[in-house]
Each structure stands twice: as structure tokens, then as C-alpha cells.
Amino acid sequence: MPANSAPPATPKTGAATDSDSLKPVPAPRSTPKNEHRFDIDLMRLICSCAVILGHVAGAFILAVDMDESNGAASYWAGHIADGANQFAVPMFFAMAGWAVLMGAPPKDSARMWTRIIRNGTPLFVWTGLYLVWAYLRDRNDEPMTNLAVDSVFGSVQPAYHLWFLYAYIPIIMALGFVVLIRAGHRPWGLGAALLVIAGLPHLLSTVSEFTGWSPPPVGWSFGTYSVVYAIGGALLFALPQRLSKRNRGLVALLMVAAMAGCIWWDTQVHYVIANAHPFVAILTLSLLLLVSRMHIPESWRPRLTRLSSAAMGAYMVHVFFVEELVKRWVSADSGAVEAAAMLVAMVAMTTVLSYAASLLWGRLGLRRWLG
């Protein structure tokens, strides 16, 4: 029997009435009302910087055409850095699950739609900005109008990193829908939107059969692995206590081993390792357990919260710096020391510029539009 189901009626208590059986049962909360989780602010900051690390690392790997023989130092610098960041996307799903299911579940459909719009608006604004930038730089492989239409259905070049939001938004919609149903609401609009997302590929293929139009790929979807990360993240972030010091040491060793596994897979089997791969899952789980419920000193909290609020904006803009600066300066001919130093310098530069830009438009009141 599920833990939150009512016990069977007994002669002593009497049978439940119809109104009682239809009354929604509030889900238990492990997070006290109005508690701010600074450890999750820290995790958001870590993941944002990890995404930047991964895309800078990708520039090193592409500089040698993904072939070690074209430059071993840049090849390995890129792959080692890339293997260290593989937790980022799964962890974002985990944090989404915790926020929707445990930390800040939506109280009604209007608040859920506010959350969706808050994530969706920067997606399309930045897609437009990247398309204009690529047009001005003459980097579009197709007419910008075609790319703009395609971007309605899925991520396009050069805004390749925005693919994540085409999966992130549907999954928070689905989780929010379940939360609202569980609370006794009837979110018809949200359900209709999910139905459209689920049927969109088939709708487009049907239109194609009648018109001959070649529809663009649809990115509005999420896989089983992202649901597992979201639900598992909600469960684990809600644990009431941090790991013991002894267990933290063991988990840290496990995390390093999983990171090495990711590097091995990328270099010896297939690049890029899938987000659902066991090595990635172990890496993600290990980092989550190490950071969750970590004590954040009082003096750090205001600055951490400020940086965490700028994380989405930094994620949105960082590819501009990777494409315009990093890829120009990375060389396939670097030696080991030079490649390592260049990697550190490029990651630091891209991170500082991205967060500085995000903090600036935050001060200008543009967070709603630019993330």
C-alpha cells in the first residue's frame, strides 16, 4: 500500500464519505516553508560553470578535428575538461525536479505558466540574437528566415546550446501538471499544451504528407533518463541531512572514478558520452550527495545568491564568447603546458565575461528577457 494512502475503513471509524474520498491529500514537504536552499544556489552556479567548461573544452577537441594525431596536448586537455563536466545537464534536470516537486511546487496553473514563460522568453530572445549575430557575421548555412522557422520547433545553429531548454520546459510542465492534479486542480490549459507537444512530430508529418513540405526536427520532448534524473533529484535533494564526513570521502573517490570513466568512454568508445550512461549517472549522483545540504557560510550567501540568479543569463550568452574568442585562440599545435594554461585561461575568461554580462543586464532590469 502506498505510504500516503488512507487505511481501510473499520467498524470503529466508519466508512469514508464520497467527499472525503475526493478530497486531495497534500503531499508532505521536506523543505520548511520559505526555506532558501543555498546549497542548491551553489549547485546551480557549479553547473553553469561546468557547461561553460564543456563548451570551451569542445573548442579544443574541434581544433584537432577530434583526432589525437592532429595535436595530442589540445586533444587531451579538451577531453579531460569535457569528462569533468558531464554532470551538468543531468543535474539541471535534478534541480528542476526538486523545485517543482519539493522545493517550490506550483500552487495553481497561473503560477506554473509564469514559470514556463520565465524560461521560454529568454529561449526565443536569445535564439533571435544568435541568428542575427550569425547573419551579420555571414555564418548561417541557411537563410535566416528558414532558421527562424526551424527554431520554433527545436534548437538551431548557432544557438546549439539552447537544445536543453526544449527538453527542460516540457519536463517542468509535465511535473507541474502532476503536482496540480495531485493538489485537486484541473489544469486543462497545461494538459492541452502537453498534448500538443506530444503530438507535434506526428502532426507535422501528417501535414508533410498532404503538402510536400519538409518539416524541421522537433526538439520539444524529453527522454526517460531526464524524468529519472528529475524525480531522483527531487528525492535526494530532499534528504534531511548531509552525508557523514567518512561517506563524503568515499563518494568523492567514486566521483573521480566516474569522471575517469567518462573520459575513457569519450576517447576510446564514442564522443560524446550519453547523459543516460551509467558513468554520467554515478558522477551526477556523487556530486549531488556531496553538495546537497552543504553549509554555506553566512558571509557568502548574498554573493552566492546574486551569482546564482545570473547563472541562466551566463549560460545563454557564453557561446558568443566561445565562438568569437576561444575558437580563434585555441591552437592544435600547443604543447602540454601551453594547452593546460590556455584551457584554464579560456575557461576563466569566458566565465568572467558571461557572468559580467548577465549581472549587467540584471541591473538594467532585463533579466525577464535575457535570463
CB atoms within 10 A of CB 82: 24
What is the chain's mean pLDDT, rounded? 91
What's the half-sphere exposure (Cβ side, CA atoms, 13 Å) at 252? 9
- Rounded CA separation 225/330 (Å): 34
pLDDT-based confidence at 12, cuts 50/70/90?
A: very low
Domain map (residue ranges) of the chain? 41-370
**What pLDDT, on the 0 to 100 scale, is given for residue 249?**
96
Q: What is the structure's pLDDT at 26?
A: 52
Percent of the chain residues topping a pLDDT of 70: 91
pLDDT band at 34 (very low <50, low <70, confident <90, very high): low
C-alpha grid cell, residue 206: 501528417
The pLDDT of residue 143 is 87
Banded pLDDT at 2 (limits 50, 70, 90): very low
For residue 32, the model assigns a pLDDT of: 55
Report the pLDDT value the prediction gives residue 244, as an integer from 0 to 100: 93
The predicted-structure confidence for 132-189, as pLDDT tens digits, reads as follows: 999 998 888 788 889 999 999 999 989 999 999 999 999 999 999 999 999 999 999 9
What pLDDT digit, counting tens, does each position of 319-354 carry? 999 999 999 999 999 999 999 999 999 999 999 999
Q: What is d(CA 274, CA 196) in angstroms, rounded to the nearest whole number?
A: 27
For 247-281, the pLDDT digits (tens) are: 999 999 999 999 999 999 999 999 999 999 999 99
Which has more pLDDT, 129 or 139?
A: 129
Using the 8-state DSSP alphabet, how is residue 299 labeled? G
Closest-CA residue to 133 (of 144, 142, 122): 144
- Say which residues have a Cβ less than 8 Å from residue 100's Cβ, sequence separation at least 6: 106, 172, 175, 176, 179, 230, 234
* Residue 64 CB contacts under 8 Å (≥ 6 apart), including other chains: 70, 71, 74, 75, 78, 332
> Cβ–Cβ contacts within 10 Å for residue 192, how many?
10
